[in-house]
Structure 1
Amino acid sequence: MYIFWQNISKFPTFLISVFTGFFLTALYPIFQLLKSQNLIYIFLVFIIVFLLYITLKSMLGYA
């Protein structure tokens, strides 16, 4: 029974490493694109506009 609980205690570490690996693999192409200075500015403007859109949508009550 001790071995069972020892294996269960290792599961959260495994889960964190799987999620980290997934996100790093999925975002790797974006990291490669952001090596260019111009694309960094475009990406930041896109994020700011998107956040403003979500904020205004919530404030005005559009669902």
Structure 2
Amino acid sequence: MYNFWGNISKFPRFIISVFAGFFLTTVYPVFRLLTNTKTNYLVGTLVLFLFLSLYAIVKLMLGYVYE
């Protein structure tokens, strides 16, 4: 039974390391793109467009009308 609770107590650290690894693996190529000036503007524009489109989608989903 001690072994069981020892494994359960390690689970939160495992979940945090999985999420951190996923985040770093996903975001690392974007940071490599930001080293070049041309791709820096492209990535910035794409991120801005992504946030603006998500804002519009959520606003329409919640029923707010553009005025």
TM-score by structure 1 length?
Answer: 0.68
Q: 5+ unaligned residues in a row in structure 1: which ranges? A: none
Once the two structures are TM-superposed, the CA of residue 54 in structure 1 deviates from its matched residue by 2.2
Take 1:42 and 1:55, find their aligned partners in 2: how far apart are those partners? 20
Letter in structure 1 aligned against 2:34: L
Structure 1 SS opposite 2:35: coil
Instruction: Show CA shifts across 1:5-26 (max 9, x none).
Output: 1211011101111221123223
Q: 5+ unaligned residues in a row in structure 2: which ranges? A: 62-67
Name the counterpart of 2:2: 2
Structure 2 SS opposite 1:35: coil
Count of aligned residue pairs for this structure pair? 61
1:11 and 2:6 correspond: no
Identity of aligned residues (%): 46
1:36 and 2:36 correspond: yes
